[in-house]
Structure 1
């Protein structure tokens, strides 16, 4: 799991692990993959070797120019296994296939596997802001994700309820229960070994309650004096400064190429007349964008400014779809990816509006991929069976797929765990609850075609492999 794309069988006994057999590599850069596989299967890691012995597992980087770096070929022949790929990620995925094939004393069948993912983004997002998780629990999920050929772990670590990673630039915003940077670096090292990129998220300009608790002067207030939860006043330069301070700090901690800026549910735009309700925002919009400038323009400008901050560190920005607004004179930067999760926002826009504008989209469809603790607001814990039988990466909103002409713009998808009611489940219950949805999502991101196995057989296979 996920099933391989193609296997050409051949006659022969196949390969089975045994004590004393070797894992050898043709490149020192495959040492991590070689040592991991050897440890998992009880083999001996022998490093770079040119000689050939019976029972060898050989890991090789090839020069298949232009091939998907996550693709691989695994050949089982003559009592030996050869896994080759254009990149170490592909070699790693080949070792995951071999590990599953011989699970529980099984035999890797004779023949050739040719395999590659359909989608380059295969993610799991975890809200650690509202429900803190231990470092050990997150590390266990990284191992699980790697074995299922996921390649992204999203960490939503700042929200109204908490700020969960140690900060040197603004220690005052950090919650009592948090991850230290040393713990995060350990998670990142494990993730790198398993070819999982960690995608951080500091959501803004909404969902900043933990920051506002330490800096109440940044709280947005209406003309009547009301203060919407978690919402900073984006007309104040100090609001941008503290968020940029944090973005710049954590850009040095997280080495991955992607960054989630959030941008969703800015409460200033969730009223009937933002300009009347928040005249300071309307004034700032006119000052920045002329007499026709709107609060939505100002909010879009905020998103672009934060994208500029992370882009300076070589990051590709991503934002939730309800952080993009129709009819604004200020347009979001073209390189900001859309994390499409809902069609319930005010002024909801269909997925094809984003796709038709040429945007790259990551699928977080809340109908299938949202595991919201406590099941509020008509959210229900998703099941693996429903994902397996009804969802594909093209099903971005509700249950209907967008036209196949947009397939290349849909980068992939991400299953998400949100902590709205953090005590609704324990860590162990969350792990158990997402187990089959993660496996079903992995299958559909690796190969969205109609599954060859029925759900009953797929689940039975998952149970056996676990």
Structure 2
């Protein structure tokens, strides 16, 4: 009673005890893809000027070296890479092959007085450093805790058709860095490499071998496998427009520049010779032959020699489709002989064939046709989801990322079929196509790309719907930002104003104005400079030598947009925003576009 009375007096004197605040659950650190597993611990890890990267083996030091460069690019200073003796504040890179539960790409990250990243492989450790970079992009203090982070799918990709409309190398390099930052591992790249064996194919749109080596080296450093594609036997016009002997001919004698004549041994030899050239610069373990839309806008009945070929090889019950599958299988065997696995699109597999596609051929499923995804898996084909719903088309369809997120889309959701299990599914990719090549510039495509890229990264690595709303998911992306080392391709190195442009043999005066997407227009007294003339491919004049002339100014005309590129000595080259060719001066003083390795670009001095 005495104690109760005393307590009453104390309450009257000092007032009632304050209510105990509800304990806040520690917030899981924000990353893209989101961390599905996070165990908080007391305290935090502090990154500061004394931080070192501790790495011992060659593989660990490679990961640490790349991380050090990225930390520097992200504004976190120069961090030394040392061996052993970790202390508080250090970052430890640890590769332990015995940690098999992490798989080939998973990692463990533990933040405390020091921070450690552990992988069973070099790739796993590398992905752990991407998570660390995302955390440091938000704060130099990382909450203490531990995560074990393992991807759900082994193929997490982006496909780019740089096949007709050239895509600049800096843009592709930005893409590789962004992919790695978000733990995407596969860039499927349809493009033309300048050919030594077939110089007649070197119309514009190509990349030099040195350019490809530079891109592949970046991909290797950032653990992005770059898989090349030469589409065949359809869509071959970038290669065989000057080879009528290889073009499929219809019953009326009309040649088809986009279709390879699969009945001719010379056609197969030509295609495999291109594969051999690509092997010099692409070390990828896979080869993509496309194999889509071979009869787009036509049908096999117009080419009786195809049926004749099929019956000659497979008997009287063979179909024209068997000749198509035969070509695919021969390319499969050739690729396998070079140690590479084959990939194709699914739309040519209509079920009209009696000859099966070789088992083990990876099928990228984009179109709902008679042969469904479940049947392809049952036939022994690894299956990648490349759904049309994931496409970004220049000047056309753009994937509705918000709708897909709200639906909790994941790689089991194919065009035409929803699968209950992920068995047999390798993963998924978004695809960028240039169908209306002048519809958008590269910089405009980039703006639309990043939300889709983050979404496919989330859906292929972890849970497809980590946040309650799409707005919260996009906020997550904004918090982690962009990859270190990403170049701002919208920066214009010349101020708006009226200039006289001078080069050897030519000069003109124009008002230079920056465009919202990071290029410039050049308005002369006669109009705005633009590329005009020549044959249009995907709505773009892609031939070298097409003239650059003044046209009625139109802010919506992307062919009137130019990129001034510093060329040393205070001069600039002018690169068209769409064709990616540079302005040169012809022998008779005209302005025309050319690839820089075909004609020396003009260097313009502005006054």
TM-score, normalising length: structure 2: 0.71
CA shift for structure 1 position 270: 4.5
Residue 113 in structure 1 maps to residue 113 in structure 2: no
The 5 Å alignment of 1:300-311 reads: 300-311=325-336
CA contact (8 A) 1:22 1:43 kept: no
Structure 2 Cα separation of the partners of residues 356 and 445 of structure 1: 22
The 5 Å alignment of 1:70-81 reads: 70-77=105-112, 79-81=113-115
Task: Specify the SS of the correspondent of 2:142.
Answer: coil
CA contact (8 A) 1:385 1:437 kept: no
Match of 2:244 among 216, 221, 225: 216
Which structure features the higher share of helix residues? Answer: 1
CA shift for structure 1 position 27: 1.4
CA shift for structure 1 position 213: 1.1
- Give unpaired runs (5+ residues) of structure 2: 1-31, 482-607
Residues 361-415 of structure 1 show CA distances to partners (whole Å, capped at 9, x for unaligned) of 0010002x1111122xxxx2113212322221001115x52122xx120000111
CA contact (8 A) 1:10 1:110 kept: yes
Match of 1:134 among 168, 176, 195: 168
Residue 429 in structure 1 maps to residue 444 in structure 2: yes
Relative to structure 1, the CA distance from residue 135 to residue 332 in structure 2 (aligned partners, 3 Å threshold; closer, same or farther) is same
CA contact (8 A) 1:384 1:436 kept: yes
Structure 1 Cα separation of the partners of residues 159 and 442 of structure 2: 15
Q: Which residue does 1:98 correspond to in 2?
A: 132
Structure 1 Cα separation of the partners of residues 92 and 203 of structure 2: 47
Relative to structure 1, the CA distance from residue 111 to residue 28 in structure 2 (aligned partners, 3 Å threshold; closer, same or farther) is same
Q: Which residue does 1:383 correspond to in 2?
A: 400
Residue 465 in structure 1 maps to residue 465 in structure 2: no
CA shift for structure 1 position 125: 0.5
Relative to structure 1, the CA distance from residue 432 to residue 269 in structure 2 (aligned partners, 3 Å threshold; closer, same or farther) is closer
Residue 374 in structure 1 maps to residue 395 in structure 2: yes
Relative to structure 1, the CA distance from residue 122 to residue 193 in structure 2 (aligned partners, 3 Å threshold; closer, same or farther) is same
Q: Which residue does 1:161 correspond to in 2?
A: none
Residues 14-55 of structure 1 show CA distances to partners (whole Å, capped at 9, x for unaligned) of 123212310111312122321222233335554452212221
Match of 2:312 among 287, 303, 318: 287
Q: Which residue does 1:29 correspond to in 2?
A: 59
Relative to structure 1, the CA distance from residue 101 to residue 67 in structure 2 (aligned partners, 3 Å threshold; closer, same or farther) is closer
Match of 2:418 among 386, 401, 405: 401
| Displaced runs of 4 or more, over 6 A | none
Query: Comparing both chains, which one has the higher relative contact order based on Cα–Cα distances under 8 Å and sequence gaps of 6 or more?
Result: 1
Relative to structure 1, the CA distance from residue 269 to residue 460 in structure 2 (aligned partners, 3 Å threshold; closer, same or farther) is closer
Structure 2 Cα separation of the partners of residues 150 and 268 of structure 1: 32
Greater Cα shift, 106-115 or 226-235: 226-235
Structure 1 Cα separation of the partners of residues 468 and 108 of structure 2: 23
Structure 2 Cα separation of the partners of residues 97 and 443 of structure 1: 13
Structure 2 Cα separation of the partners of residues 230 and 61 of structure 1: 49
Structure 2 Cα separation of the partners of residues 415 and 141 of structure 1: 13
Q: Which residue does 1:8 correspond to in 2?
A: 39
TM-score, normalising length: structure 1: 0.91
CA shift for structure 1 position 123: 0.4
The 5 Å alignment of 1:225-244 reads: 225-244=253-272
Task: Specify the SS of the correspondent of 1:15.
Answer: strand
Structure 1 Cα separation of the partners of residues 380 and 176 of structure 2: 32
Q: Which residue does 2:119 correspond to in 1?
A: 85
Structure 1 Cα separation of the partners of residues 260 and 165 of structure 2: 22
Q: Which residue does 2:180 correspond to in 1?
A: 146
Task: Specify the SS of the correspondent of 1:214.
Answer: coil
Structure 1 Cα separation of the partners of residues 252 and 38 of structure 2: 67
Structure 2 Cα separation of the partners of residues 153 and 319 of structure 1: 15
Task: Specify the SS of the correspondent of 2:258.
Answer: coil
Max Rg structure: 2
CA contact (8 A) 2:467 2:473 kept: no
Greater Cα shift, 234-243 or 29-38: 29-38
Greater Cα shift, 299-308 or 228-237: 228-237
Q: Which residue does 2:542 correspond to in 1?
A: none
CA contact (8 A) 1:34 1:45 kept: no
Structure 2 Cα separation of the partners of residues 413 and 238 of structure 1: 35
Task: Specify the SS of the correspondent of 1:201.
Answer: strand
CA shift for structure 1 position 354: 1.1
CA shift for structure 1 position 189: 0.5
CA contact (8 A) 1:269 1:295 kept: no
Task: Specify the SS of the correspondent of 1:280.
Answer: helix
Structure 1 Cα separation of the partners of residues 124 and 178 of structure 2: 17
Q: How much is the aligned-residue C-alpha RMSD, in angstroms?
A: 1.8
Q: Which residue does 1:160 correspond to in 2?
A: none
Task: Specify the SS of the correspondent of 2:423.
Answer: helix
Q: Which residue does 1:204 correspond to in 2?
A: 232
Structure 2 Cα separation of the partners of residues 91 and 387 of structure 1: 30
